[in-house]
């Protein structure tokens, strides 16, 4: 058995049509996986799909902020590939404003997209994983799973929730041979953070000063940890949350 081989493993990557999700999907494809990319934007989806080094791939356009959409998405992937080995819950949004200025809708949008979708996609994938004899779920958290920020109340709540969701699912499904882990990215250069850099004065300088590696991460920096958590190499690892952050969370 090759520890990091993903040959014929079927992976769903939500929010896989750009940024961190796409880089993880590209890593999975290079390791031999079959890939289902999920997102809302179809033109980004088509471009992302073309960049994957596997003929076994599809893009599905879904807004995953409802439980029903998560179920329909999982059924569509099962219809195409017949199994689900890996689920990466990566779709996410951020709304940057002071807590007192949040509307009810904004709060729910962030929580439903970032946290509820991870739960409902996992719940929908569970029967297939159990029936197959196992699976891997990877939840994408954040430095805001660990730290607060004045402009990110809903985002931080959702990402803190991702770590507890990870631990709860890991304990519930360990005997089904389903490992559930989280990756906590540091500050990574993507569309999401390009907007944050534009909207939050001084953010770029703060990130560079605080990150021991002295740089922003690249989406590709997340692929190695994701392949580890998706492969047989991590079969006795469950309920863990791994920072991939250039040392950001290690610094006082």
Residue 142, helix vs strand vs coil: coil
Q: How far is the CB of 61 from ligand NDP (least distance, A)?
A: 8
C-alpha dihedral (104, 107, 109, 115), degrees to nearest 10: -140
Tally of CB atoms within 10 A around 225: 20
Nearer to ligand NDP, 174 or 213 (CB): 213
Candidates 90, 116, 109; CA nearest to 38 is: 90
Which of 9, 21, 166, 248: binder of ligand NDP (CB under 6 A)? 21
Binding characters for ligand NDP, 88-127, by CB under 6 A (x = yes): --xxxx-------------------xx-------------
Q: How far is the CB of 98 from ligand NDP (least distance, A)?
A: 19
- C-alpha span between 166 and 154 (Å, rounded): 18
Which of 4, 30, 32, 40: binder of ligand NDP (CB under 6 A)? 40
Is residue 126 part of the annotated active site? The answer reads: no
Residue 246 lies near ligand NDP (rule: CB under 6 A): no
Per the CB < 8 A criterion, the answer to whether 84 and 129 are in contact is yes
Per the CB < 8 A criterion, the answer to whether 29 and 57 are in contact is yes
Residue 185 lies near ligand NDP (rule: CB under 6 A): yes
Provide the 8-state DSSP code for 18.
S
Binding site for ligand NDP (CB under 6 A): 14-15, 17-21, 38-41, 44, 62-65, 90-93, 113-114, 140, 142, 185, 187-188, 190-193
């Amino acid at each position: 058995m090759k520890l990091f081989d993903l040959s014929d493993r079927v992976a769903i990557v939500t929010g896989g049509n750009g940024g961190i999700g796409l880089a993880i999907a590209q890593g999975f494809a290079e390791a031999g996986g079959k890939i289902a990319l999920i997102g809302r934007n179809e033109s980004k989806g088509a471009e992302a799909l073309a960049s994957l080094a596997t003929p076994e791939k599809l893009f599905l356009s879904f807004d995953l902020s409802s439980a029903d959409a998560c179920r329909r998405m999982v059924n569509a992937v099962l219809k195409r590939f017949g199994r689900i080995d890996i689920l990466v819950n990566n779709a996410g949004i951020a709304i940057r404003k002071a807590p007192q200025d949040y509307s009810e809708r904004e709060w729910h949008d962030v929580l439903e997209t970032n946290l509820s979708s991870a739960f409902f996609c996992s719940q929908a994938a569970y029967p297939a994983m159990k029936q197959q004899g196992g699976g891997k779920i990877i939840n994408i958290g954040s430095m805001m799973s660990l730290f607060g920020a004045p402009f990110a109340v809903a985002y931080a709540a959702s990402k803190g929730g991702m770590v507890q969701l990870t631990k709860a699912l890991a304990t519930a499904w360990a005997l089904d041979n389903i490992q559930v882990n989280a990756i906590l990215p540091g500050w990574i250069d993507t569309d999401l953070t390009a907007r944050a850099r534009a909207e939050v004065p001084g953010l770029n300088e703060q990130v560079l000063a605080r990150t021991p590696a002295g740089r922003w991460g690249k989406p590709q920096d997340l692929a190695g940890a994701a392949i580890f958590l998706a492969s047989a190499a991590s079969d006795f690892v469950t309920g863990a949350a791994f920072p991939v952050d250039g040392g950001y969370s290690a610094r006082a």
